[in-house]
Amino acid sequence: MWKVAWRNLWRNRTRTALSIAAIGLTHALLLVFMAINEAGYQSAEQSAVKTAGGQLLVHGSGYWQSLSSRHTVDHPTAVISTLEGMVGVEAVIGRVILQGLVSSSHGSSMVRLAGIDRQQEALQIDLGPYVTQGSFLDPADQAANPLVLGRGIIHDLELELGDRVVLTATDPQGEVTRALFRLTGILETGSDSYDEYAAYTTVEAAQRAFAMGERLTQIGVLLDQNAQPDAIRNRLQRLLGERADTLEVLTWAEAYPDLVGYIETDRGLGLVFAIVAFLVVGFGIANTFLMSVMERIRELGLLGALGLGPGKILKLVICEASCLGLTAVSLGVSLGAAVNYYLCAVGLDLKMFGDIEWDAGGIILSETVIHSSFDAASWIVASLVVLAVVLASSLYPAWRARRLEPAQAMRCFQ
Amino acid sequence: MIDSNGHLIEIKNLTRTYRQGIVEVPALKGVDLTIDRGEFTALYGPSGSGKTTLLNLIGCLDRPDQGSIAIGGRRVEQLSRSAAATFRLNHIGFVFQAYNLIPVLTACENAEFILLLQGVPRQQRRAVVHPLLERVGLAGEMNRKPHELSGGQQQRVAVVRAIASNSRIVLADEPTANLDAETARELIRLMLELNEEQGVTFLFSTHDPTVLAHAHRLIEIRSGRINGERSRLTS
């Protein structure tokens, strides 16, 4: 049966080769598309974690909604100590984040001022290499209130290294406070939207300038690779007891629901793309098999006359489809694996599509080279789905073949 | 295995009418016929006389409107499609006028195709088919595809296929229609030899006087009825 099916398949070599190429290329495209997407999602998630400040974020209750400096983490040392003692926690990073206004003699610009500990921050993301002039909060720098600003702000305010600027922000008591800072570094990440509002200083300088005492606005928590953010959050809340009511603990996904929505939407669109692609291919295959059956009516009649029952004739056509499907899927997997290997090893530089900003849901995708990923389970599932589509496409032609009356089909005695 | 102490084929009052649109075309009008084991019988008559319909009905490729067909004592006229296919597979060999062979298989694979469907192991199949192909002069053509064989060679492969599975009945419709006179004579001699050597019952339709000359029994069909028959001694 399989031998006859395989040979039947190659009776019209061009048609079979075209069918296999169509299915195989579509399958390869689907596999690579899936792999790139998955890697892209992972990269976006990593970027989101970096942008958010950690897999878990601890704020004063209500901070994330309002981004107001009134909602601070008071007495953060106890919280940090609790976190550092927890299994699954890799690092704990304290920050002061304030929305403010930076002013020079040439004007003012909105900024997001982050007071950070550079060494701690580097555990997650080191912006040092993106500082194109000056230094990034170098401890050797003697400036009392050092400030690193994005290139966009520098351009708007016509600033130069060493210039003094005034930063205005609201302190925890609700008072509008001004403080003098000195420009010690210029940040250039390549993302215009980021460089137009990023401002960095040290934690101590921010606390001092805006009367925060030891208070922080955010504690970022970096977790082990296998740690579950939700489980750590629940444990932390239990350990904090009543104190937990004054704090909010968010996972990165809760902090950036837009990104999660974007990824889910994109996954859905990918699925729709795959369904449409394989529906088109499926109809093509059904047409091919129907033509193949119609061309062989006399021969199928002969098989019936010789004693091949209707069920076996149906099976023969399905065997042919299986041969076609398996060959095409093998081709697709081979091609997909070759392309994916290249993408895993070398990657795809998104900059080749133009000098545009790559961000999603407010997250800057700092890594513009996407390295594909390989997930054997999803490749197996996708290949089985393709095989199922091919087999499903052959069902109607197979059913038509099954219904043929041998005498009529052959017109053997007419 | 079919077995009966009576006639091998017993047909009673067989009637078949085809409908072409609103027109009804009677193909057989109450045919009674018996065929015994080992006969070498020819059906003859003009085109449209009902020869094909009769062979189709005996071969379980079609169903009658009325009447009965018993083969080896078993009634076959109302078999389901699947049961009819199984019956054909195990008891009836066919040789058709043309397009007899499966194009993607070699001569040897075509010859052993029925055995393959019957589930006979490869070695056993080859043991049956090779001597038969040698017997019909195709020892050197076993691995050729049908399009590489002449019309006569293709028909010989079909005859080997029909008898290789130990079918006791071979139905042949105009088996020599597409062959030249000499090749036709060779084929009919081969069928006759196999009939004599192996006791296979042959029932075939033909217009060819050369073929008719070799038949032991001649049945004339006209307008869907048996018009007459005569027997002759083996030549």
DSSP A138-172: -TT---SSEEEEEHHHHHHHT--TT-EEEEEEE-T
Q: Domain for residue A288, yes or no?
A: yes
Indicate yes or no: CB of A412 within 8 angstroms of CB of B52: yes
Q: Domain for residue A254, yes or no?
A: no
Whether the pLDDT of residue A70 is over 50: the answer is yes
Q: Residues A184, A280: one domain?
A: no
Highest mean pLDDT among A289-303, B48-62, B88-102: B48-62
pLDDT at site A92: 92
Q: Domain for residue A308, yes or no?
A: yes
Quick check: A13 contacting B, CB < 8 Å?
no
Amino acid in the structure at residue A380: I
Q: Domain for residue A231, yes or no?
A: no
- When pLDDT is averaged across residues A110-118 and rounded to a whole number, the result is 92
**How far is Cα of residue A334 from the mean position of the Cα atoms in its chain?**
25
| A310, A399 contact by CB (below 8 A) | no
- pLDDT range class, residue A357, cuts 50, 70, 90: low
pLDDT at site A363: 47
Chain B positions touching chain A (beta carbons under 8 Å)? 51-53, 55-56, 59, 61-62, 81-82, 85-86, 88-90, 94, 96-97, 99-100, 102-105, 113-114, 117, 161, 173-174, 205
| Token output for A388 | 């199922």
> What domains lie within chain B, and their CATH numbers?
39-49+81-231 (3.40.50.300)
pLDDT at site B171: 92
Q: Residues A109, A39: one domain?
A: no
What is the CA angle B181-B187-B191, rounded to 5? 145
A317 min Cα distance to partner chain B (Å)? 14
Q: Residues A195, A273: one domain?
A: no
Residues 6 or more apart in contact with residue B18 via CB below 8 angstroms = B24, B25, B27
- When pLDDT is averaged across residues A109-116 and rounded to a whole number, the result is 92
Q: Domain for residue A245, yes or no?
A: no
pLDDT at site B198: 81
pLDDT in tens, A14-65: 888 888 888 888 889 888 888 888 887 777 777 778 777 888 999 998 888 8
Pairing between strand A218-223 and A56-60?
Answer: antiparallel
Q: Domain for residue A253, yes or no?
A: no
A407 min Cα distance to partner chain B (Å)? 6
Residue tagged 């009637």 (tokens): B15
- pLDDT range class, residue A412, cuts 50, 70, 90: very low
Q: Residues A289, A396: one domain?
A: yes
Long-range contacts, stretch B142-147, CB < 8 angstroms, 24+ apart: B142/B106, B142/B107, B142/B108, B143/B106, B143/B107, B143/B108, B144/B106, B144/B107, B145/B103, B145/B104, B145/B105, B145/B106, B145/B107, B146/B101, B146/B102, B146/B103, B146/B105, B146/B107, B146/B110, B147/B103
Q: Domain for residue A386, yes or no?
A: yes
Question: How many alpha carbons lie under 13 Å from residue A72 in its C-beta half-sphere?
Answer: 24
Q: Residues A301, A397: one domain?
A: yes
Q: Is the pTM of this model over 0.95?
A: no
- pLDDT range class, residue A258, cuts 50, 70, 90: confident
Number of domains in chain A: 2
ipTM comes to 0.85
Which residue range(s) make up the domain with A366? Answer: 2-49+259-410
